[in-house]
Structure 1
Amino acid sequence: MAKDLTESPVDRQNILNNSYAVTEIQNATKIKGIHFEGTVCLIKEQVAAFFEVDTRTIERYLEKYGEELTQNGYEVLRGKRLKSFKMAVKEQFVTDIDVGNKTPQIGIFNFRAFLNLAMLITESERARLLRQTILDIVIDTINKRTGGGTKYINQRDEDFLYAWFSEENYRKIFTDALRDYVDMGNFKYPLYTDKIYVSIFKEKAQEYRKILRLQAKEKVRNTFYTEILDLVAAYEYGFAELLKASSEKKGRKLDSWEVDELFRHFEAQPHWKPLIERARVKMASRDLAFRDALHLQLEQYIAPLQASEFERFLGEKSKELAERLEEAQDVLKRLKDR
């Protein structure tokens, strides 16, 4: 979907928290500045010159978006650090700027703050072009690190494999309980699976498929994040035990009205609330950032991903499922034999 970075703080922060993309953008744009404390920095006059606007425009954005820009690396230097910065300017023979020996303070943009400003300024054609470049590089970076697609980026999580196999075991317990304790036709299996999905993330399986553009043979659960798999497994096992206890108490299989009533009480238990809230935030936020997939029913739960999330799914510890399967043969055998 088209992203308007000037209007979306979530999209801006997702880009800035993705260190892999930021590095690629820096390498591609070759923005030059002052090397200070291990990073490239620019002062207000340099930024204004680059975007071809006057310094008052930069000041307006600093006033309006000061908290966001500061969070992403803009800072005002004073005292010893200001002296060190002036020395760096002098040593690097930066002749196009004048910081002045008597200047008591100076604001500097590191590269993240510079990109942040580029995603805000609407008066600059250069900023608009840079925003398009940023979006292209972010997409290319994620695709490159995930092998060309993000549909199964969930499987790069180092915790995915165990959750996946555990959930398969609990799924079997759930379907067996439906078979043994519920007096309904085979439609009971998708029916109560959908009830669990709707309870957790407000979408039936078919709705979820459309959002992620899954093909007919692709399994919904193969795209679930670890937290979703764990919560689905908890629902399935807990409800299976409830069906068993209720059926054995009545001495017969349960009809659909009885099962529906049991499920209403089951999903209303207060201990689910924090787990569901967390799962919705994870699904909605990650799918928007990684898969460019918007869950409209979960829109209120969307938040920027932290840097640790990008490391978790794009970093060195993240791997393709095939690699993990190869490394985990013994673990998988134990899980299968349980």
Structure 2
Amino acid sequence: MSKDLTNSAIHRQNILNNTYALQEIEKATHITGIPFEGKTVVLKEQVADFFEVSLRTVESYLSRFEAELVRNGYEVIKGKRLKSLKSVLQGMDVPETYFGNIAKAPQLGILDFRAFLNLAMLMVESERARLLRQAILDIVIDTINLRTGGGTKYINQRDEDFLHSLFVEENYRKQFTDALRDCVDMGNLKYPMYTDKIYVSIFREKAKEYHKILRLHEKDSVRDTFYAEILDLVASYECGLAEMLRSASGSKGRALSVLEVDILFKEFESLPHWKPLIEKARNKMASRDLAFRDALHNQLQEYITPLRAEEFERFLGEKSKELAERLDDAKDVMKRLKERE
């Protein structure tokens, strides 16, 4: 998917919240700044020089996108902090034109590395900014692929909650398919048909549509790519629907017709307690797939938000593991429990 960082606040924020990518970008760019309060900062004059634009252009972006830039490390300092920065500048090889302009300034705007990158992702006038945006996108992709072993199809399985959710869902899946078998008067088409109804209810896509969006192979299992929160919600649907099917079938003393099941399903999905759970699931699926898998769920665009830094840690950090490692861990735990019996 083509990403125009200048037009997408979500893409920009996803990059700026990815601490692993930021570390690699900082190594690659070698941006020279001013050491201040344990980090490196730059002045707007230095930004203008780097991007080969006028100071007025930089100030225009700082004004137009102030809220976003402040959120990502731009700030205006004064008082003791400004005095401290001026002291640092006096001891550095900073052009006289810079220091002469700020020596008497009552306040000063500074940008840390995140804010500097944020500005690079906004600036359309600068060729250097354009080249930096290309490098940023390449580094982000390389960083995610490196930390996930070369692909993101199963990045969901690096979450420590995935394996438990998968096992739980499989149990409720069996209850649901057994209820369909025993309580619905229809052939084998009922299994994929009502599975799709669950998917559409939760994330507005049938299995075939989801397959296409994630570019899965024909034999790939859809559920193997679900995040833990999606598996939990699917399991809740399956558990509740299985109970309702058996109850309705038992009260009538016969298997239910397709029309009766469709009416029951409509009543079930309309229960108000599903709304916050569905909205959360849609947000997780749409936002994570866009950031990690470069996959856009068109039906869920309204739910897309930037990922927090904690999300990148959850799926790319040291605590995340490949499924094979988690299975090995689970086997070891089961073995120890068996030995205690």
Deviation at 1:85, TM superposition (A): 1.0
- The one-character-per-residue Cα deviations of 1:149-189 (angstroms, maximum 9, x if unpaired) are 00100011111110011001100110111111111100100
Q: 1:268: which partner in 2? A: 270
Q: Map of 1:294-333 to 2, 5 A cutoff?
A: 294-329=296-331
The one of 227, 230, 234 equivalent to 1:228 is 230
Q: Distance in 1 between matches of 2:280 and 2:177?
A: 26
Tell me the CA shift for residue 95 of structure 1: 4.0
Task: Give the C-alpha shift of residue 27 in structure 1.
Answer: 0.3
Match of 2:87 in 1: 87
1:217 aligns with 2:208: no
Residue correspondence of structure 1 range 167-186 to structure 2 within 5 A: 167-186=169-188
Return the match for 1:118 from 117, 120, 128: 120
Per-residue CA distance 1:187-206 (angstroms, 9 max, x = gap): 10000000000000000000
Indicate if the aligned counterparts of 2:102 and 2:108 stay in contact, CA closer than 8 A: no
Q: Is 1:102–2:97 an aligned residue pair? A: no
The structure-2 alpha-carbon separation of the partners of 1:331 and 1:250, relative to structure 1 and needing over 3 Å to count, comes to farther
Q: In structure 2, what is the Cα distance between the partners aligned to 1:306 and 1:199?
A: 26
Q: Deviations over 1:244-285 (max 9, x none)?
A: 001111111111111111101011111100100010011000
Letter in 2 for 1:268: S
Gaps of at least 5 residues in structure 1 are none
Distance 2:238 2:292 in 1: 28
Give the TM-score normalised by the residue count of structure 2.
Answer: 0.96
1:198 corresponds to which residue? 200
How far apart in 2 are the matches of 1:189 and 1:6? Answer: 45
Structure 1 residue 90, shift from structure 2 partner:
2.5
Q: Higher mean Cα deviation, 320-329 or 11-20?
A: 320-329
**Residues 29-48 of structure 1 mapped to structure 2, 5 A cutoff:** 29-48=29-48
In structure 2, give the amino acid aligned to 1:42: V
Give the partner amino acid of 2:257.
Answer: D
Alpha-carbon distance between aligned partners in 2 of 1:177 and 1:210, rounded to the nearest angstrom? 29
**How far did residue 212 of structure 1 move?**
0.4
Whether 1:55 and 2:55 are equivalent positions in the alignment is yes
How many residues align structurally?
334
Moved more, 321-330 or 148-157: 321-330
Partner residue, 2:130? 128
Residue 331 (structure 1) shift? 6.0
| Distance across 2 between alignment mates of 1:330 and 1:51 | 55
1:323, CA displacement in angstroms? 0.8
Q: Unaligned regions of 5+ residues in structure 2, if any?
A: none
Q: Which moved more, 1:236-245 or 1:87-96?
A: 87-96
Q: Distance in 2 between matches of 1:159 and 1:317?
A: 11
Q: Does 1:72 align with 2:77?
A: no
Read off the aligned partner of 1:94 and give its amino acid letter. V
CA RMSD between the two structures: 1.3
Shift of 1:332: 6.6
Structure 2 CA distance, aligned partners of 1:5 and 1:44? 21
Say whether 1:28 aligns with 2:28: yes
* Mapped partners of 1:100, 1:68: distance in 2: 25
Aligned-pair CA distance for 1:12: 0.4
**Alignment correspondent of 2:159:** 157
- The offset of 1:77, in angstroms, is 1.0
- Alpha-carbon shift at residue 101 of structure 1 (Å): 2.9
| One-letter amino acid of the counterpart of residue 215, structure 1 | H
| Inter-partner Cα distance in structure 2 for 1:165 and 1:89 | 59
Residue in 1 that maps onto 2:285: 283
- Rounded to whole Å, the distance in 2 between the matches of 1:91 and 1:331 is 59
Aligned residue for 1:328, secondary structure, equals helix
SS in 2 for 1:75: strand
Q: By how many angstroms is 1:87 displaced?
A: 1.8
What CA distance in whole angstroms lies between the structure 1 residues aligned with 2:332 and 2:30?
Answer: 48
Q: Mean Cα displacement is larger for which, 320-329 or 82-91?
A: 82-91
Distance (whole Å) between structure 1 residues aligned to residue 222 and residue 279 of structure 2: 20
The equivalent of 1:293 in structure 2 is 295
Amino acid at match of 2:189: F
Supply the distance in 2 between the matched residues of 1:275 and 1:332 (Cα, whole angstroms). 32
1:93 CA displacement: 3.6
The answer for the alignment partner of 2:11 in structure 1 is 11
Superposed displacement of residue 131, structure 1: 0.4
Q: For residues 34 and 122 of structure 1, what CA distance do their matches in structure 2 show?
A: 25
Aligned-partner residue type, residue 224 of structure 1: F
After TM superposition, give the deviation of residue 36 of structure 1 in Å. 1.0
Match of 1:77, SS?
strand
Secondary structure, in 3 states, of the residue corresponding to 1:319? coil
